[in-house]
Amino acid sequence: MVDDASEENVNRVVDRGKAVSDEVVSDEVVSDPPGWELPLLLFGAFRTLIDRLHARLADEGHPDLRPAYGFAMQAIGAGGATASEIGRRLGVSKQAAGKTVDRLVALGYAVRIDDARDARRKLVHLTPRGHAALQRSAALFDELRAEWVAALGPERVRSIESGLRGVVPAETAFRLDATSWLGGV
């Protein structure tokens, strides 16, 4: 929270209780909210979905699985990858990727094996537990989306998704390096 002494908030995160609320007339907002709300609402939506996903995963036997690990498991992929490849895919150093892989191995989600084509390389592969966690995550995301549909209606959710596809460049829509951008991994 940043408070502006003049009570004029320009490009500042403010306590919602201090912001001037928009007047709503039958689901139609009379004035546009400040621009800084959009990224915070999008991030809040992301965090809500991820937090709910991980709470459910924890209840189902994956209490140590963290959001950064999901990105890393996606970066490992179906064919496996080296720590350097994982680091590149996540936008982090080989060392940072190696630490994350160490943790995934310790938790039983991944395993390191010798590369049959190059004895100097170790490949990281997901274990059956890792694959199961990703499959369960996908199913839970479908359930979470269904909750949004129940709350907002199917047309509205499809409209949100369509609108975001229209403004998010295709090359950045499904990038895995969000953890490096947010300072994770």
| Interval 103-147: pLDDT, tens | 999 999 999 999 888 888 899 999 999 999 999 999 999 999 999
Tokens encoding 125: 């592969």
**pTM of structure:** 0.75
Length of the chain, please? Answer: 185
pLDDT digits (tens, 9 = 90+) for 13-27: 555 554 444 555 556
Tokens of 74: 């996606």
What pLDDT is attached to residue 27?
Answer: 63
Q: How many CA atoms are closer than 13 Å to the CA of 3, on its beta-carbon side?
A: 4
Q: Which helix (H) or strand (E) holds 129?
A: helix 128-152
pLDDT of residue 120: 83
| pLDDT value at residue 117 | 84
**Distance from C-alpha of 182 to C-alpha of 147, rounded to nearest angstrom:** 27
Pairing of strands 110-115, 24-25: unpaired
Tell me: the pLDDT tens digits for 58-114?
999 999 999 989 999 999 998 899 999 999 999 898 999 999 999 999 999 999 999
Percent of the chain with pLDDT over 70: 78
Banded pLDDT at 36 (limits 50, 70, 90) = very high
Tell me which amino acid residue 23 is.
E
| Contact between residue 131 and residue 80 where contact means Cβ atoms under 8 Å apart | no
Would you call 185 helix, strand, or coil by DSSP? Answer: coil
Q: Above pLDDT 90, what percent of the chain?
A: 63
Residue 66, Cα to own-chain centre: how many angstroms?
Answer: 10
- For residue 109 the two structure tokens come to 């989600």
So what's the pLDDT on residue 7? 47
pLDDT tens readout for residues 153-181? 999 999 999 999 999 888 777 777 765 55
pLDDT band at 2 (very low <50, low <70, confident <90, very high): very low
Tokens for 177? 């390096």
Task: Give the count of beta carbons closer than 10 Å to the beta carbon of residue 14.
Answer: 17
**How far apart are the C-alpha atoms of 184 and 106, rounded to whole Å?**
19
pLDDT at 182: 58
E strand residue ranges, 49-117: 110-115
